[in-house]
Structure 1
Amino acid sequence: MSTPLTHITCSSLSFSWPDGSPVFDDFHLTVGPGRTGLIGLNGSGKSTLLRLIAGELTPSEGHIRTTAGEIGYLPQNLVLDTALRVDEALGIDGTRAALHAIEAGDVGEERFAAVGDDWDVEERALATLDQLGLGHIGLDRTIGEMSGGECVLLRLAALLLARPDVLLLDEPTNNLDLYARGRLYAAVDAWHGVLVVVSHDRELLERVDQIADLRDSSVAWYGGNLSAYEEALAVEQEAAERMVRVAEADVHRQKRELAEAQVKLARRKRYGQKMQESKREPKIVMGARKRSAQESAGKHRIMHAGKLAEAKERLDDAVEAVRDDDEIRVELPHTKVHPGRGVLLLSSLELAYGARVQGSFEVRGPERIALVGRNGAGKTTLLRTLAGELAPVSGEASVEVPMRFLPQRLDVLDDELSVVENVARFAPDATDNRVRARLAHFLFRGARADRPAGTLSGGERFRAALAALLLAEPAPQLLMLDEPTNNLDMASVRRLTAALDSYEGALIVASHDVPFLESIGITRWLLLDGGLRDTTAEEVRTGL
């Protein structure tokens, strides 16, 4: 008898946050075998849906069922105990300890029970680590000795070892360098079973079998990878825009016909009044004529008004089908740095944790610098040192213009304060109206600006943090961003690119997202690898 295929089914699902903010209402979804890319705007509920399926959250109504399968889940924000050993993080420490005890001569029954049939657990664990590029770490090192990217791969290794039937990945390439991303791509390519991945990583989404587009608490399905989705969506949007034009023309026609009908009725009314005044017809005939004209006028008004209402409804439906993912529109003239002006000077800088910049290094004028390198090379450490958060071991770092730093963890925001209150902290002399007017350009309009920062989605939180820094007073003329596209959907990445188009100061961006770096007009590529040296985008793509 064949084994039934594994499916995830969400039926009549509803979920709201404790503050009452709704996420899903009567939501339905069925996901079968294969690789599914789950995409959608930030705040649409992608991460929440994965947490519901994984059992981390409980729906207020409805059911989630998984047929014949265990679920493995890699969260977006992975937190591991730094004191854990690798074998503990992999979940094999008990079996491994029993194996070693048996090898040492302990033949107790409980030891054999702990091992079960898993006699090759160490070999499988090491092979899985090696598959993900972690073969060098062994099983006895602690989490605290590993970089953030290595921890993500370690968690993925634990999931692969557990062999779940359903694998849920939430932004798995965040914090991974290009080498580590390649390892993860290979693991995804080799996956058999149900895989649901939330990601903004184009290369990863090119590897899926289907795209599930989550929007307005419902899912639209598209066969194929991201490129096939974008082609299908473009065709849909072209058709939707055509329907809008047709519906607009229909509304104009109905308005014109209604106006013409009203003119005709007005003429008839004037004619009837003249006849009545001249008394050319008997009173009873004129009364009947008047009643007939009034009834006819009423029917005409109802008919044309109904047609106009129907045309407007068709226009509303057509407009709703056209996507309007607002872009950030903002002018930042006070961020301008003139060519040749000194911005940053590094002199024989040795950083905490071993990274260093030998000799002197200078940034002048509005340069746009991409800071690249392997996980653990020291990119974040360098940015934190420049921001004054870490003291250098030796040497000097001198920033000569107003500077702002946006870290990966986005902790520049106070979760208890609203968006507008957070921005006001960075511009204390600005009026409330001025702050709100400028926030509207970052798509925080009306009540959205009054939401507590702690309730924002990842993309919304990033947008609020970016607004706080770019609208700060004095205006930053050096802006440093650490992995800014982490947790951002593709629409939010476009918004970030638009905002940076308006920025006229010097820019340093640490990122593994080469397509994003190329889109923001990088003028200089710097590789941190035991030192700091100039490189190229092509070398970054092929050499890391």
Structure 2
Amino acid sequence: MSLSFASSPFSVVCSEVSFAWPDGTTVLDGLDAAFGTGRTGLIGVNGSGKSTLLALIAGELSPASGTVGVAGEIGYLPQNLPLGTARTVSDLLGISATRSALHAIERGEATEENFTAVGEDWDVEERARAELDRLGLDGLGLDRTVATLSGGEAVMVGLAAQLLARPDVLLLDEPTNNLDLDARRRLYEAVSSWPGVLIVVSHDRELLDLVDEIADLREGGVRSFGGNLSAYEELLAVEREAAERAVRVAGSDMRRQKRELEEAHVKLARRVRYGDKMYEQKREPKVIMQERKRQAQVSAGKHRLMHEDRLSDARERLSEAEEAVRADAEIRVRLPATEVPAGRTVLTVNGLPAQQPASLEELIVRGPERIALTGPNGSGKTTFLRSLLGEGPEGLQVKIGVEGVRYLPQRLDVLDDRLSVVDNVRAFAPSASVNTVRAGLARFLFRGRRAEQPAGTLSGGERFRAVLAALMLAEPAPQLLMLDEPTNNLDMASARRLSEALEAYQGALIVVSHDVPFLRTIGITRWLHLDRDTGLTEIEPM
């Protein structure tokens, strides 16, 4: 749609925007939001509609009602890039057509069509390589196929494409997912120096501390705050403390009103008994006694209603105060009781390439060890995990000594998009009843109709929760968990719950992650580093 932005301080305006998936699941309902110049961090719990809102702004989705207006060109880096195996780095950068025309002209095909395709971009290859170098991807060939890229490399190529295009409005959806520490630093620098409008959906605290404004999407509305995440959380802490005080005051007032109502009932009962006694003794004329009894009943009724109204008001104030401090819904991860004895050999891997004296030629995992597997993007960490499941390259000899091995893949590709969440989980636990599966899914915030959503309609965070639920509820219960970037797409509260659950897990654990604070919280006992040049080595705790 077309909007006039001539006198508006905002570059993106969403007016009464509603959106629902084809199955009827409502995501946004009458949402109003506006974003101006500068860097905005869009936060909210998983499933609140952050990715959907970005896709609506980008024009990838159309609202069921309402309008979305954007001033200028849009650049959009989604969570999941379209990574067709035949595509190349040049395709991701969006320069293949220009390069093809340029190379044709160099071969002597000086047609008007080729010159038009090149336009002013005669240095497109040099600029592309400069942006790739800037993001730490020096040496990455423009004709290299996407299938050979790691998840982190693909994200950085996608970011390079945006830096090349220089749109007026840049939308980034969880851009630090899968990025190693060096790549994150380079992305932070790119975000810090972005000159136009930038809206970033993220749960990365360091990235969110670089923004100029926080937009919190919750309960169908957007609350904006000028400042970064740390400043916003300080404000929330102050508000929460005030709200908790209000709960205490309202609770005390309700108890007092309840006590006064009970006392009023006692006093009124005494008056009634006294009036009845006086009437029975007939100390005054009958007409006068009846009028006094009627007045006493009216007075008693008014008194009772006054106290009941006060109690009702006190209860309402308490309910409002409690609502103000209501915590966002959080997952409740309960890992199965799968204790592994300390002496048991869980995993043995032979045939590792020893590329230097410190390289490991053999990896043995015993008992409930917790191993962190770190390394730069493209070093082969995901390939290594898949090789432990027999899906990697030949040459490794892998022996698993426990039952119930479960793998959480980085790209969350273990669900059938056509099936509902509940049916996907039942495929992992065929002997479990539907009620048992639904009860388990409720702990992962899939309740009622949400459990019937097709997997293909889930947001990144919802999909992660569904995959995690499938692994945790699977049969047999896992004694060895292998997790590839488990905090990707998780909101902060859910990431905290996951770390608490993993800390209490009694099986063996291998975790690929660049989230060092998360690794520290789950009690890692061994730190391994994988690099293409040095192979697998054991390193000091990070």
Whether TM exceeds 0.5 here: the answer is yes
| Cα distance between partner residues in 2 of 1:371 and 1:263 | 71
**1:245-280 deviation per Cα after TM superposition (whole angstroms, max 9, x unaligned):** 111111111111111111111111111111121122
In structure 2, give the amino acid aligned to 1:308. Answer: L
| Cα distance between partner residues in 2 of 1:438 and 1:110 | 60
Which residue of 180, 184, 189 maps to 1:186?
Answer: 189
| Cα distance between partner residues in 2 of 1:146 and 1:422 | 29
Residues 520 and 3 of structure 1: is their aligned pair in 2 closer, same or farther, counting only changes over 3 Å?
Answer: same
* Residue 428 of structure 2 is aligned to residue 399 of structure 1: no
Residues 433 and 119 of structure 1: is their aligned pair in 2 closer, same or farther, counting only changes over 3 Å?
Answer: closer
In structure 2, give the amino acid aligned to 1:268. Answer: R
| Cα distance between partner residues in 1 of 2:456 and 2:276 | 69
* Counterpart position of 1:524: 526
Residues 3 and 86 of structure 1: is their aligned pair in 2 closer, same or farther, counting only changes over 3 Å?
Answer: farther
The alignment partner of 1:7 has SS state of: strand
| Cα distance between partner residues in 2 of 1:419 and 1:70 | 37
* Residue 410 of structure 2 is aligned to residue 408 of structure 1: yes
| Cα distance between partner residues in 1 of 2:52 and 2:416 | 22
The alignment partner of 2:175 has SS state of: coil
* Residue 203 of structure 2 is aligned to residue 200 of structure 1: yes
| Cα distance between partner residues in 2 of 1:431 and 1:439 | 12
Residues 380 and 211 of structure 1: is their aligned pair in 2 closer, same or farther, counting only changes over 3 Å?
Answer: same
* Counterpart position of 1:29: 33
* Counterpart position of 1:502: 504
* Counterpart position of 1:291: 294
Which residue of 494, 511, 514 maps to 2:513?
Answer: 511
In structure 2, give the amino acid aligned to 1:467. Answer: A
In structure 1, give the amino acid aligned to 2:22. Answer: P
Cα shift at 1:472: 3.0
In structure 2, give the amino acid aligned to 1:518. Answer: R
Superposition map of 1:413-432 within 5 A: 413-432=415-434
Cα shift at 1:323: 3.4
| Cα distance between partner residues in 2 of 1:116 and 1:473 | 59
Does the Cα contact within 8 Å between 2:503 and 2:521 map onto a contact in 1? Answer: no
Superposition map of 1:246-261 within 5 A: 246-261=249-264
* Counterpart position of 1:541: none
Does the Cα contact within 8 Å between 2:51 and 2:459 map onto a contact in 1? Answer: no
Which segment is superposed worse, 520-529 or 149-158? 149-158
* Counterpart position of 2:65: 61
Consecutive unaligned residues of structure 1, counting only runs of 5 or more, are: 352-356, 539-544
Residues 412 and 203 of structure 1: is their aligned pair in 2 closer, same or farther, counting only changes over 3 Å?
Answer: same
Which residue of 263, 267, 271 maps to 2:266?
Answer: 263
Residues 426 and 502 of structure 1: is their aligned pair in 2 closer, same or farther, counting only changes over 3 Å?
Answer: farther
In structure 2, give the amino acid aligned to 1:522. Answer: I
Superposition map of 1:136-151 within 5 A: 136-151=139-154
Residues 187 and 497 of structure 1: is their aligned pair in 2 closer, same or farther, counting only changes over 3 Å?
Answer: same
Does the Cα contact within 8 Å between 1:165 and 1:194 map onto a contact in 2? Answer: yes
**1:406-465 deviation per Cα after TM superposition (whole angstroms, max 9, x unaligned):** 112334444455544444444444455544444444444555555554444332332232
Does the Cα contact within 8 Å between 1:15 and 1:59 map onto a contact in 2? Answer: yes
Does the Cα contact within 8 Å between 2:384 and 2:392 map onto a contact in 1? Answer: no
**1:340-370 deviation per Cα after TM superposition (whole angstroms, max 9, x unaligned):** 221111111469xxxxx85221111111110
| Cα distance between partner residues in 2 of 1:272 and 1:322 | 49
Superposition map of 1:121-520 within 5 A: 121-329=124-332, 332=335, 334-349=337-352, 359-388=361-390, 390=391, 392-402=393-403, 403-445=405-447, 448-449=450-451, 451-520=453-522
Cα shift at 1:112: 3.6
Residues 105 and 450 of structure 1: is their aligned pair in 2 closer, same or farther, counting only changes over 3 Å?
Answer: closer
Residues 95 and 425 of structure 1: is their aligned pair in 2 closer, same or farther, counting only changes over 3 Å?
Answer: closer
| Cα distance between partner residues in 1 of 2:457 and 2:305 | 48
When the two chains are superposed, the root-mean-square deviation of aligned CA atoms in Å is 2.6
Superposition map of 1:93-108 within 5 A: 93-108=96-111
- Count residues with an aligned counterpart: 531
Does the Cα contact within 8 Å between 1:347 and 1:358 map onto a contact in 2? Answer: no
| Cα distance between partner residues in 2 of 1:452 and 1:97 | 41
In structure 1, give the amino acid aligned to 2:206. Answer: E
Cα shift at 1:74: 0.5
* Residue 79 of structure 2 is aligned to residue 81 of structure 1: no
TM-score, normalised to structure 1, is 0.91
Does the Cα contact within 8 Å between 2:461 and 2:491 map onto a contact in 1? Answer: yes
Between the two proteins, what is the percent identity of the paired residues? 66
Cα shift at 1:399: 0.9
Which segment is superposed worse, 510-519 or 323-332? 323-332
In structure 1, give the amino acid aligned to 2:374. Answer: V
Residues 326 and 13 of structure 1: is their aligned pair in 2 closer, same or farther, counting only changes over 3 Å?
Answer: closer
